[in-house]
Structure 1
Amino acid sequence: MRFFKYILTLTLFLALTKGYGQDLDKVDRMLSNYPANPSSTEELANRIKNDFSNDLERVRAIYKWIALHVAYDTKALGKPQRVRFSYRTLAELEAKKKQFRKDLALQTLKKRKALCEGYSTLFQNLCQQMNIECEIVPGIARRLISEIDRQNLPSNHAWNAVKINGKWLLVDVTWAAGWVDYSKMKFHQEFSSAYFASDPNEFAMKHLPDDQKWLLTDNINSKAEFASQPIPYKYFLGKNIKLLSPQKGTINMLKSTGVQFNLQNVPADTEIAYHFKREKYGQKVKSFTKADTLSFKIYSELKGKDELVIYFNGEPALGYKVIVK
């Protein structure tokens, strides 16, 4: 049944992003002429609302503008972000929360630096000004191979769910903006479409919401299932590639026989290679295709625990823990 659910979810996702004939490339091109420093969230929201004719294009414009112009604030990373309110009634509390969100959105716009809460709050603010329903989704995010099978990860991230044409879509504009070199605590701005209106099954390989209704898929039923998956990188995400096996993030393999990978919908010109962390050099694979499934084997020279990265055209695509016997 899980294969059927994956196909159903993917069909709905493709219908929303492609079935209406939306030209998101056109949106991206138009955003190159937008100001980097609008005077207010209202100014930016009004321009986007006037320039684009439907909600999908408007949401894409919000996503692209924030990712291009807001940098991840590495200096604020790890510092407590506590906000306390004094209030006499629940109505007063809600009003103060609403004002805090408005202030944070404007601060993110002005400073052009933020952590994930600032990114997701600005995204929500701009959507709401265009009467587009949008939620901030807190939860667990994984990015490292070492986090595979770890069930004690804290809630450490925030992203968005946005409703377009009656369907909820998942968006992570923080990760769309670029990546952090944590060894130097330096942010590298690098726009990615991989986290826009993502297929929920792919999104759930890296994101586990605190409220599991925002998974938008039935394929993950526990924190253990979430933690056991391999780590996908952005060169795997958003490509409609289906990983058939191995689907568990920890691989037990014999040195003599290696392990076979099976994937569907891999573009024909994709060069695939792999690298074990403990080995000096990576290796290109010799793949073969049967029907619509591409298969290849990988082998390790060293016994013991290791980390494995599969590369597509020289870029990381999938990460695994490996135990070689």
Structure 2
Amino acid sequence: MSKLFCTIAILLGCSSAFAQHEKYKKVDETIEKIGALNNINVAVIADTITEPFNDNEQKARAIFYWISHHIAIDPKATKQNDTKNNLPENVIALRRATPLGFSLLFQEMCSTAKIRCLSVDGYVKHFATDINEVPDEINFSWNVVQLGQSPDTWFLVDACSASGYLDKKLTLFTKQFTSEYFFADRKLFNQAYYPDNDAWQLGGGVKSLKEYYSMPVINSKAFELDMALNKNTPITGFIKTKIGVPVTFNFSINPNKKIETIALIMGDDKKLPKPEAMNFENTGGTVTFSYKFKKEETFPVKIMIDGREALQYMVEVAE
């Protein structure tokens, strides 16, 4: 068990994704050396980055790593749902794309490498204000990759989220690579995303779009930690509580991964809220902490782990 009181000054991001980085280290280092491959078409780029590898998993990883490092999310096109530049050749020329553009580029490069891959449309929640707000249309796209004939040889990939993220106003892209969006954990992925066709949950998942939008927002740090949301996480994204009554947060992580800091950011981003450090326990990978909210208000809450967003909730505090 570890307890930690920390100051905001040491809330520095760190990578705990040791296992995936080690597994794909040689692939990633090779693609890093190959570089941006400017002024080359899609097919040649796909051939160049996959040629050093023999099996389809390594080739798919090479494509994922290259795209997530050399394509940025296009804030303007994403905000306006502008689809005119989503074709792979346009994405390569512009070096930016919407989530659908990322998905179509990944699919095209996999096809060139003779890897079966499909683009999946669906839904994702980015911010706490999305909780319980079901949109009228799909708002995200990702991929599924098939490496064999059995159902368990289909894998989930999101090169867009792996590249970084947009701010709430959809005006600024921040580059931040997250390895674990490649062949992502199915259970966590199925809580973080909802496909338009539930066949692409690749197993059990959330039963309805309404249920999906009732759950907390799951961000990149949760994937890094192989997080599992327990029944008392809380699993509902909208928390109702009273001033001074403790709310307990409980979730599991890979026991081989370490957490240095946990902090809450409470309130609207416009108010520039500062992180409030938590005293937490980590017992064999089960992480627990409690917090007593101090003011009567309804506001978003971010759970930051080692300086990166893991979960988001909406909290309604009454007297």
Q: Give me the TM-score of the superposition, normalised by structure 1.
A: 0.80
> Which residue pairs with 2:229 in the alignment?
243
Instruction: Say whether residues 1:170 and 2:153 are aligned partners.
Output: no
Q: Give CA-to-partner distance per residue, 1:297-325, whole Å, 9 cap, x none.
A: 11111023121111112222111011112
Q: Aligned residues, how many?
A: 289
Shift of residue 153 of structure 1? 4.6
Asked whether the equivalents of residues 238 and 315 of structure 2 are also in contact (C-alpha less than 8 Å), the reply is yes
> Which residue pairs with 1:66 in the alignment?
67
Counterpart residue type for residue 274 of structure 1: L
Counterpart residue type for residue 104 of structure 2: T
- Pairing of 1:219-298 with structure 2 (within 5 A): 219-244=205-230, 245-265=233-253, 267-277=257-267, 281-290=274-283, 292-298=285-291
- Which residues of structure 1 form unaligned runs of 5+? 1-17, 84-99
Distance in structure 1 (CA, Å) of the matches to 2:228 and 2:170: 34
> Which residue pairs with 2:126 in the alignment?
143
Distance in structure 1 (CA, Å) of the matches to 2:244 and 2:163: 42
Shift of residue 293 of structure 1? 2.5
Distance in structure 1 (CA, Å) of the matches to 2:129 and 2:170: 19
Match of 1:202 among 170, 188, 192: 188
Distance in structure 2 (CA, Å) of the matches to 1:152 and 1:232: 18
Larger RCO, structures 1/2 (Cα 8 Å, 6+ apart): 2
CA change 1:218–1:44 in 2 (3 A) is: same
CA change 1:281–1:218 in 2 (3 A) is: same
Distance in structure 1 (CA, Å) of the matches to 2:289 and 2:28: 36
State percent identity of aligned pairs: 26
Distance in structure 1 (CA, Å) of the matches to 2:297 and 2:94: 48
> Which residue pairs with 2:94 in the alignment?
111
Distance in structure 2 (CA, Å) of the matches to 1:78 and 1:183: 8
Asked whether the equivalents of residues 159 and 171 of structure 1 are also in contact (C-alpha less than 8 Å), the reply is yes
Asked whether the equivalents of residues 123 and 193 of structure 2 are also in contact (C-alpha less than 8 Å), the reply is yes
- Pairing of 1:83-162 with structure 2 (within 5 A): 104-162=87-145
- Pairing of 1:297-312 with structure 2 (within 5 A): 297-312=290-305
Asked whether the equivalents of residues 38 and 44 of structure 1 are also in contact (C-alpha less than 8 Å), the reply is no
Distance in structure 2 (CA, Å) of the matches to 1:150 and 1:270: 33
> Which residue pairs with 1:87 in the alignment?
none
Larger displacement relative to structure 2 (104-113 or 313-322) = 104-113
Moved over 4 A (4+): 78-83, 278-281, 289-292
Distance in structure 2 (CA, Å) of the matches to 1:312 and 1:34: 33
Greater Cα radius of gyration, structure 1 or 2? 1
Counterpart residue type for residue 273 of structure 1: A
